[in-house]
Amino acid sequence: MTSKLTFHELIFIAILSTALGVFWWGYSFIYNVFSPLLKPFGLNGLLEGFWQFAGIFFAIIIRKPGSALLGAVIAATVEGLISQWGFSAVISGLCQGLPVELLFLATQYKKFNYFICAIAGALAAIGGYVVTYFWYGYSSFSLEYNLLHVATNIISAIFLAGILARLVALKLAKTGVLNQFLIVNDKTLAHE
């Protein structure tokens, strides 16, 4: 079996990433309602975990190098094109997808347990926070505020990106719709 992404896998990532980018655009409306209420307390990071979902989700399903980064960047690009986030979304996708890609490369794309997926979520949150810190002026906020915000972002991403991506991918695999992808070789499918 080749470790290169096939045409079929590329099309799958492109289509589902596009749908995810549209979902994120819709989620932005919810975020825009609740974020101003939480931001003064540094807690709006609790709402940001969904944006770290893509890279982890595609890595779990495809299990080949490039799938995490490509999925994150395409979804972010689509969202950036149709939302208020613009080009910063693309940069966020890159910063969120790259650490996830590097983590799964370090495991040789062979470990996808909840612990590794939670770490992937945390790394994606930290990568995305780099954009928040510099692009959106969080560098002008206090150290305590930034630490609280990044901590809440990490907590959110552990659950709404890492663990949720694994749950959704495994549930989809059990239905048979992912039979053409390497996730079907996951021995934990029978137990979850």
Confidence band, pLDDT 50/70/90 cuts, at residue 30: very high
Contacts of 150 (CB under 8 A, 6+ apart): 45, 125, 126, 129
State if pTM tops 0.75.
yes
Average pLDDT over residues 68-96: 95
Average pLDDT over residues 30-37: 95
Domain spans, the chain: 7-191
For the CA atoms of 147, 153, 158, 163, what is the dihedral angle to 10 degrees?
A: 170
Residue-wise pLDDT for 151-169, tens only, equals 999 999 999 999 999 999 9
Look at residue 136 in the predicted model and tell me its pLDDT.
Answer: 84
Q: Which carries the bigger pLDDT value, residue 19 or residue 2?
A: 19
Structure token digits, residue 10? 């590329």
Distance CA 150, CA 18 (A): 27
Listed residue (69, 42, 29, 50) closest to 133, CA to CA: 42
Average pLDDT over residues 14-20: 97
Listed residue (1, 115, 11, 143) closest to 56, CA to CA: 115
Distance CA 58, CA 11 (A): 12
Position 95 pLDDT exceeds 50: yes
Distance CA 127, CA 39 (A): 19
